[in-house]
Amino acid sequence: MSWLIRACFVSLVTLLSGCAGTPSSMQNIEGDGGYQVPKQIRYSFTVSNVTGKLLENTQFWTYLPVPQTSHQKVKKIVANYPYQEKRDELGNSSIYFNLKDIPPYGSKIVSITVDLLMSDRPITMPVGDRTRFISREPYIESDDSRIVAIAAQLHNESPAVMAQKDYEWVAKNVSSEGYVAEDRGAVFAIETRKGDCTEFSYLLTALYRAQQIPARALGGYVFSGNGVMKAMDYHNWTEFYLDGAWQIADAQKGAFVDKQTDYVAMRVIATGGAAAVASQRFSYAGEGLRVEMN
């Protein structure tokens, strides 16, 4: 073992525009630093008109990879339709499409390709809003007495040792079950000692926060090399902040500050406040519209 988001996008920090077939500009990211491993991801959606009338103007959005984390940096974005890119207060990036004139019972396929640079070692970056990342949120109940008690049992003077002990406790004491659409939270995982990747992520995040270690839940995809992202492969994990960088801890898949180039973060998850977003992958607006990830 090596060591070491109904969209409710408010408080938009940056609005960037892009065009089909051209890369998005990434003005806030300078240089490649330690990001040296190239990785390309592709994903697509079928946007269908299920009515017998022409749909003249429909809206669809989905997530782009998080522009920069301690293990990934977005270099280039290409889509087959014109788009706008928006950022939220957590640094998440989403891509918005206005699709014109979908014929009766017709469809359009929206394809997105993103070139990334990855790092197999955590790259130093600011923690951001530290208070947010050590505070209770819905489903991340870091102030629950049972979670506080376990955090106390695992206390260690070394944050690094404590972080690993938390990870090992969740990995050993929570049983993995199949995907459940409903979010059930860290307390559910403590009470039942079971959960899917979301509960693993929420519980480990809550333990870290109970120990005042900044932590956050992330959603995305895990695979080595280049790949095509599929809905069934969506996954949640935890990152904790230590030694000036965000470190990956995935108690369900058994990765602790390890296999970082496999983890493509699509969003930092917020479960409460203005940044909370109910949809995990995509959303759309338009009567008679149906969207499926391919």
Q: What is the pLDDT of residues 152-198, one digit of tens each?
A: 999 999 999 999 999 999 999 999 887 766 788 999 999 999 999 99
Q: Check whether residue 61 and residue 115 sit in a common domain.
A: yes
Q: What is the pLDDT of residue 178?
A: 77
Q: Is the pLDDT of residue 16 over 50?
A: no
For 88-129, what is each residue's pLDDT tens digit?
Answer: 989 999 999 999 999 999 999 999 999 999 999 999 999 999
Helices H, strands E: what count in the chain? 5, 17
Q: Check whether residue 282 and residue 200 sit in a common domain.
A: no
* CATH code of residue 99: 2.60.40.2250
- Burial (CB < 10 A; 0-12, 13-18, 19+), residue 21, is exposed
175-176/194-195 β-pairing: parallel
52 in any annotated domain: yes
Residue with tokens 């809206």: 59
Q: Check whether residue 28 and residue 113 sit in a common domain.
A: yes
Q: What percent of the chain stands above pLDDT 90? A: 76
Q: Is the pLDDT of residue 208 over 80?
A: yes
Q: What is the pLDDT of residue 237?
A: 97
Name the residue range of residue 47's domain. 15-121+278-293
160 in any annotated domain: yes
Least confident of 25-34, 168-177, 184-193, 256-265: 25-34
Q: Are 136 and 143 in contact (CB under 8 A)?
A: yes
Q: What is the mean pLDDT of the chain?
A: 87
Query: Mean per-residue pLDDT for 129-137?
Result: 95
